Structure 1
């Protein structure tokens, strides 16, 4: 029996849910049986009871999700399936139904994210691919669906489901010849498949021929399939057989009452039979259903207006001042002082655009007064029209070169354009000795924008010392204290600001930020919401609100705030960067790409944004677009060897081998005296089977740098890739002789030894290492695992027991698990105790659940064992040992057909695993 025990080796870590008991196992088993027999309601009721008793039972939650999806409770199904996923459920079991649920809910980007971000087995990937193709079609991206199916057919050329989907799609696009070629291939594989016949019928119909015989044949094979029934009824109607067609439509309606497609077909038949009134009623009802689913006379004495305006301005009556001064300036030539007064009055009454227009109209006067020019420029910047200020700068520089006020203005313009280096040159040059508060404020702004808060804070303190009563300066100091994690002092300052002015925006934002840093999201939300109520135009408040809502997992609200922030300030980088992050997390690569393009519009030569864009395009399977972006990064990093190495890795991972090769070569050329570039290049060449070039690079490294543990590891990789496992092992061992602490060659040697390559040699090496006091636990664990995999349990058992004495044993659960497997069959009580201890440490491990379920089955409690094994299966449906253990338990329960189906459906006997002989023997019995 020991021969059939599955082991948990070091590093084999999977995720699961809580334990199941015998009564749960029985109830779930009954629910599964009912589901498989089509008794959906009974299955649902049984599952409700299971989940009432054990809300974390993953197999039940998964099955419940599938049932809810079948019954049309899409939102509830998504909730259940996402919970299974979060609890560690096997993506291969969860993603197919979850993708269909997302399709029904219109969450198409989540489907694309499933396909692009998960390593699915063939069956699950094909299932999700078909759903993704449908999603593209619903988005009117049928060319993308065609491209997706084409890529899939290169890998799975005989997939009937994909062939049929592509045939149907090409037919709809009018590409009949291509569709026919695919159909011929499908017919050769599966001539009487239902969906093959439906695809054939659509193609024949598109060619102007009668598809009725084809649909009739499909009807013979699947008389209760709604898709077949609809197609057949439609063909009958076209053929004039209205009565027969209507009868089939009535049958479909009994199966799927309220189905939109069926209602449309019914209306079409009614229209064909000239029953227009009834057809219109159906169409009207459908329209209503669908609608539920988814803007003065002039004063003759003009001088009086000037006097009135000036008096009003001096009395702070800015509304009257702006009205009278506007009237006067509209009729008379104005002086710069009058223009300045009017501009200030307009600004104080919120007339920013009116002020800007007025200043722009009187630019010839504005440039004659530097103070007025500065006001004009700052207004343009506030209105996101900094280019107009830049247009004024040449004239201002001619008139006021060397004036500190002009230098201050130039600095503001540069900071507004995020040209930090040029702004710093002015602040550290002409304005270096200035102690003006405005200059100090600009220095604080510069360092803050560059996130150099430690430098900004002392400057802000100096600024506050000059004007200690300024609430604005207090808020700046508080903000910098928060960013440098000095929350206690920041809190005192913020409380002082808000005690004097409870609605102070900067104070409220700072309070929100402090609470956010303290993870007090409720208090943080309250403060930031109060701030935004006071001023919806505060970009900083909108961004902070978004960060708070993101931390509280409320993405849609966060997106609203970020969209507000970028609308208020189109050049705000942080808002767009956060949007990219959120959109990517949601799988909305189109929206993410739009934001990255906007960021590149702001910083066209940002390698970071080009890399981000490449990552998105790579996820979207746009190989050429990815390569174009990475080529741009190469141009930006061509003289930075370390960055080129990271670029090369990305290029290699994205399939741009040519680009990676160029980057590696350039990096080596830039740093010819550094070994790392050569070694990474050699690994790249080995992985791309360019063995002759790899050999040349290895020889060059050997000649230039001499032997090193890293080079020996690469030599081992080369030998292993070229079919020389024993030579590879020797290189790895030699690397260890040079550096016994080097983990990677040890792991590589261990992987070879597990397969029988010089196992005894590695055992001897590890045994010698184990005899030294300084030998790490890791090596002792590998030695125990080697004995274990070889079936030498007598040698493995004392090593595992010794490992359990170590205080910090990171893989204690797996040591216990392997001991449980060692004792299984000879001392099942002791084995079960070990398995329970392991699961206490890692209650969400499929491998450990499998061990426990197997031991219970060996104790002849087959139903309880089956329940535990099904927990393991829900988390890792690909493990052949789990398949065998479930089949064994089912066999012992007398359920031979289910046992056989488990082994055949998963192609278990085609896999290599330690219990394969036992599984084959079991299948032979079945």
Structure 2
């Protein structure tokens, strides 16, 4: 490029960057103007400003959130939901959105949705209080008044004198005819500098209940003085006038509501009364009543055929015929009718139970089979079906009981023994399954099935040599069986005997060129070795032979995925999906590739369609939940995973998956319950213990945590792990001395990084980082590549006021590990404190360019800009940070200081109060408290 062209290009870039910065600056100014208008209750102005912002920059998430708030203020819940969904898709912090979702659903009368949206957790008192208020109003909507009152009471515990909660309790008292109690709550509510309009509305209703309509009218007039457009106040005033037969005075209030909301049902009802009461009005026909009457008549029209009644055997024959042809719904209807005439007929019960088990109606099948077993005990078909029912209900102990009874009667029955082994395998008792199967593995009748189950049991216990030995027995017995060679190849692969695995797959294919699984495994061995083109050539050659084979096409898609060729991978997986949309393996691959291409909604649609068509495939629910989590729709993920738990065969593990999703949804209480349920399912399940203990430590539940740690120690026989967990507990309890003692104990047992980092955090908690420095140095001599320990040492230098030493050490780490965002961010903070502001800003901007969604990095950059006088840019960043973590006390403190510098003192003070009153700790909290006193 010529120097002239280079200069022109550079000028163009500068002009582009300037115009971009100008546009962003304009958006930030408009947003601040919108906020000011909103706080001044100028809602139309706010909407105009926000629409301008969103037209220019649709992904400006603070504007989306504010737009939702405005719509809620205007009573437009449906439109607010649209904005909230967009904000959630933009990864706005769920704590910022959770109360807004609840309010929006309440406005629409969607009370179940409001309850689902407002799940309680361990957030700040302010948020939890607001959630309790939403739940209370939703319970009132559902007429569950005791639940509502409990919610309002809990809200008052969190925020005493809360007007909304007092109004809620008054509302419930009024509903229960406790008018004096209601009046007491309402008067407490109105004893405020700025009483809510709803307080006067409720007071009017209470006075009306007491029979004082004049005082009730006076109260509602006070409400209308606050807001002359308040529909509920107009509605109440209209009702009072109608009751007093002051129809002409009621009419303007009703007309005002119907003009704004033509289909408002209560106003419509009052209008009907008004019309009926006015002399000129005619009676309207009740079309809805006629419509309902017609529906009732239609529902009562059907009767069973008389011939079927008079000849019950026809019911059985019709049921049997439909059962044999797979018409299960009709079969169930006819067979159920037959049982009314011939109770506990074994053949009928067998067919009915089979239909119900297939349909997932397991409790119904269990009841029918249990009743039949009582009437006709020990029938092997009934016992087997009972065992299968309990197996699907995941009650392994009862399944074992019934299968053992079958085996007692028929000890050499391969079906009986196989079912017994399956029940033991489901409960995770593979060793017992091995013992049961080994006793009859040489049984001549269906011994192959027994040996295959043995292979599965050995494989699940990672006893690959034993599994290989059984597979080789099968091959000796059936040397020309391709499947057994393929099974042996898989076992060799798991045992990391790759040459033997390849040889087994090649033999399998030589015995049966149609063995697609062996073809796939051979291709995978090339892919594992990085020979993608060889694998692709092999698969595509086989696809010529096996045209439209879904497994081969899926494997080709996988190979392109490994080559990072997403477009071609998608093309191949779509071909496979077109062939078989009900194959979860194919559907999972398709959804994965779509998600990689940022087509998450398409992936969700594909999974949703699969789940609708295959309701008994629980793993699809896990995949769907993961996609919802990618979209920041954590509550939807939790709901999907609840369904997964219900359908899963391994509830202990499924409950852990649910607990982790609940934690992402910030529902710690729900997560604790799920971990506990997991332990009920399997009292030795270590992941459940570890997940639960981390939460009880966070909740500072000392005694329960110690009990859990003792159980973990017994289960793992690890004193080191137990000591680390005790250290974590006492660190959470701010008992630094005890924490240090336990971490040192753990380090005596073994070198545990968690103990070393815990020791550093304990010294930091005691403000004794000088003691952490030698410990960390000693550790880093032994483990020089432990970056977290190195960062802890640099932070210890900073905390010990050795700023230059900290800055120098961060330079060493940046050289050693490269410009990692965490290192740049921490270095920026140290350099700023040293007075190297330009260098600090450069590091902070570089870190932010790498990780713009990281709150700590965003806050560092914004705080540096704020202290350098770049207030507007800083405010925009802080606002963005609060959309991602609405309750972040440190960001609120920094924003408060910055707003104050802009002379926006009222808003600044509100944020500073929230930061100080938060239970969160942050390094500058003492400074924040001191600053508030001066304000």
For residues 502 and 876 of structure 1, the distance between their equivalents in structure 2, rounded to whole angstroms, comes to 53
Equivalent residue for 1:474, pick from 494, 515, 522: 515
Q: Give the match for residue 872 of structure 2.
A: 863
Equivalent residue for 1:812, pick from 814, 818, 823: 823
For residues 254 and 749 of structure 1, the distance between their equivalents in structure 2, rounded to whole angstroms, comes to 68
Q: 1:199 to 1:607 in 2, by over 3 A?
A: same
Return the offset for 1:213.
3.9
Conserved in 1, the CA contact under 8 Å of 2:482 and 2:511? no
Deviations 1:563-591 (A, max 9, x none): 5434xx6xx76578879999995448788
Q: Are 1:164 and 2:167 an aligned pair?
A: yes
For residues 522 and 269 of structure 1, the distance between their equivalents in structure 2, rounded to whole angstroms, comes to 66
Larger mean Cα displacement after TM superposition, 171-180 or 128-137:
171-180
* SS of corresponding position for 1:116: coil
Q: 1:260 to 1:816 in 2, by over 3 A?
A: farther
Q: Give the match for residue 576 of structure 2.
A: 527
Deviations 1:857-908 (A, max 9, x none): 4454443443344334444454555445545544554545554555457667
Return the offset for 1:837.
1.9
- Structure-to-structure mapping, 1:36-115, within 5 angstroms: 36-67=39-70, 77-103=80-106, 111-112=114-115, 114-115=117-118
- Structure-to-structure mapping, 1:355-754, within 5 angstroms: 391=379, 407=413, 409-410=415-416, 428=438, 430=440, 432=442, 439=449, 461-462=482-483, 474=515, 507-508=549-550, 511=553, 515=557, 520=569, 523-524=572-573, 527-531=576-580, 552=600, 554-555=603-604, 558-559=607-608, 561-566=610-615, 586-587=635-636, 596=645, 607-608=652-653, 630=676, 633=679, 637=683, 675=719, 679=723, 720-721=734-735, 727=737, 731=741, 742-744=752-754, 746-751=756-761, 753-754=763-764
Q: 1:879 to 1:359 in 2, by over 3 A?
A: closer
For residues 522 and 323 of structure 2, the distance between their equivalents in structure 1, rounded to whole angstroms, comes to 32
For residues 217 and 812 of structure 1, the distance between their equivalents in structure 2, rounded to whole angstroms, comes to 60
Q: Give the match for residue 298 of structure 1.
A: none
Conserved in 1, the CA contact under 8 Å of 2:757 and 2:789? no
For residues 739 and 112 of structure 2, the distance between their equivalents in structure 1, rounded to whole angstroms, comes to 46
Q: Are 1:842 and 2:859 an aligned pair?
A: no
Q: Give the match for residue 758 of structure 1.
A: 768
Deviations 1:478-529 (A, max 9, x none): 78889999899999999899878868xxx44675587579585665455345
Structure showing greater Rg: 1
Conserved in 1, the CA contact under 8 Å of 2:760 and 2:772? yes
Conserved in 2, the CA contact under 8 Å of 1:797 and 1:822? no
RMSD of aligned residue pairs (Cα, Å): 6.6
Deviations 1:818-870 (A, max 9, x none): 145325xx554444323322222222234444444444444544434433443
For residues 402 and 729 of structure 1, the distance between their equivalents in structure 2, rounded to whole angstroms, comes to 56
Equivalent residue for 1:800, pick from 790, 799, 810: 810
For residues 258 and 98 of structure 1, the distance between their equivalents in structure 2, rounded to whole angstroms, comes to 24
Conserved in 2, the CA contact under 8 Å of 1:641 and 1:668? no
TM-score (norm 2): 0.64
- Structure-to-structure mapping, 1:272-287, within 5 angstroms: 272-273=277-278, 277=282
Return the offset for 1:161.
1.3
Larger mean Cα displacement after TM superposition, 746-755 or 836-845:
746-755
Q: Are 1:217 and 2:236 an aligned pair?
A: no
For residues 481 and 759 of structure 1, the distance between their equivalents in structure 2, rounded to whole angstroms, comes to 57
Q: Give the match for residue 239 of structure 1.
A: 244
* SS of corresponding position for 2:852: coil
Q: Give the match for residue 366 of structure 1.
A: none
- Structure-to-structure mapping, 1:140-151, within 5 angstroms: 143-151=146-154
* SS of corresponding position for 1:804: helix
Q: 1:856 to 1:469 in 2, by over 3 A?
A: closer
* SS of corresponding position for 1:158: coil
Return the offset for 1:168.
1.6
Q: 1:266 to 1:803 in 2, by over 3 A?
A: farther
For residues 633 and 911 of structure 1, the distance between their equivalents in structure 2, rounded to whole angstroms, comes to 31
Q: Give the match for residue 399 of structure 2.
A: none
For residues 517 and 899 of structure 2, the distance between their equivalents in structure 1, rounded to whole angstroms, comes to 70
For residues 919 and 381 of structure 1, the distance between their equivalents in structure 2, rounded to whole angstroms, comes to 63
Conserved in 1, the CA contact under 8 Å of 2:720 and 2:745? no
Deviations 1:148-189 (A, max 9, x none): 334444444433212322332353355768756755764667
Q: 1:55 to 1:892 in 2, by over 3 A?
A: same
Return the offset for 1:215.
2.6
For residues 491 and 164 of structure 1, the distance between their equivalents in structure 2, rounded to whole angstroms, comes to 69
For residues 523 and 447 of structure 2, the distance between their equivalents in structure 1, rounded to whole angstroms, comes to 22
Q: 1:478 to 1:71 in 2, by over 3 A?
A: farther
Q: 1:46 to 1:883 in 2, by over 3 A?
A: same
For residues 670 and 771 of structure 1, the distance between their equivalents in structure 2, rounded to whole angstroms, comes to 33
For residues 913 and 650 of structure 1, the distance between their equivalents in structure 2, rounded to whole angstroms, comes to 21
Q: 1:134 to 1:402 in 2, by over 3 A?
A: closer
Conserved in 1, the CA contact under 8 Å of 2:696 and 2:705? yes
For residues 331 and 747 of structure 2, the distance between their equivalents in structure 1, rounded to whole angstroms, comes to 78
Q: Give the match for residue 128 of structure 2.
A: 125
Return the offset for 1:253.
4.9
Return the offset for 1:133.
3.5
For residues 417 and 848 of structure 1, the distance between their equivalents in structure 2, rounded to whole angstroms, comes to 52
Deviations 1:674-701 (A, max 9, x none): 53686489679xx6xxxxxxxxxxxxxx
* SS of corresponding position for 1:843: coil
Conserved in 2, the CA contact under 8 Å of 1:546 and 1:562? no
For residues 523 and 738 of structure 1, the distance between their equivalents in structure 2, rounded to whole angstroms, comes to 56
Q: Are 1:27 and 2:26 an aligned pair?
A: no
Larger mean Cα displacement after TM superposition, 382-391 or 892-901:
382-391
Q: Give the match for residue 499 of structure 2.
A: none
For residues 328 and 933 of structure 2, the distance between their equivalents in structure 1, rounded to whole angstroms, comes to 86
Q: Give the match for residue 495 of structure 2.
A: none
For residues 490 and 451 of structure 1, the distance between their equivalents in structure 2, rounded to whole angstroms, comes to 31
Deviations 1:459-493 (A, max 9, x none): 78335899989999736667888999989999999
For residues 46 and 241 of structure 1, the distance between their equivalents in structure 2, rounded to whole angstroms, comes to 44
* SS of corresponding position for 2:161: coil
* SS of corresponding position for 1:811: helix
For residues 49 and 237 of structure 2, the distance between their equivalents in structure 1, rounded to whole angstroms, comes to 38
Q: Give the match for residue 3 of structure 2.
A: none
For residues 670 and 880 of structure 2, the distance between their equivalents in structure 1, rounded to whole angstroms, comes to 43
For residues 577 and 57 of structure 1, the distance between their equivalents in structure 2, rounded to whole angstroms, comes to 31
Which gives a bigger RCO, structure 1 or 2 (Cα 8 Å, sep 6+)? 1
Larger mean Cα displacement after TM superposition, 419-428 or 236-245:
419-428
For residues 262 and 549 of structure 1, the distance between their equivalents in structure 2, rounded to whole angstroms, comes to 49
* SS of corresponding position for 1:249: helix
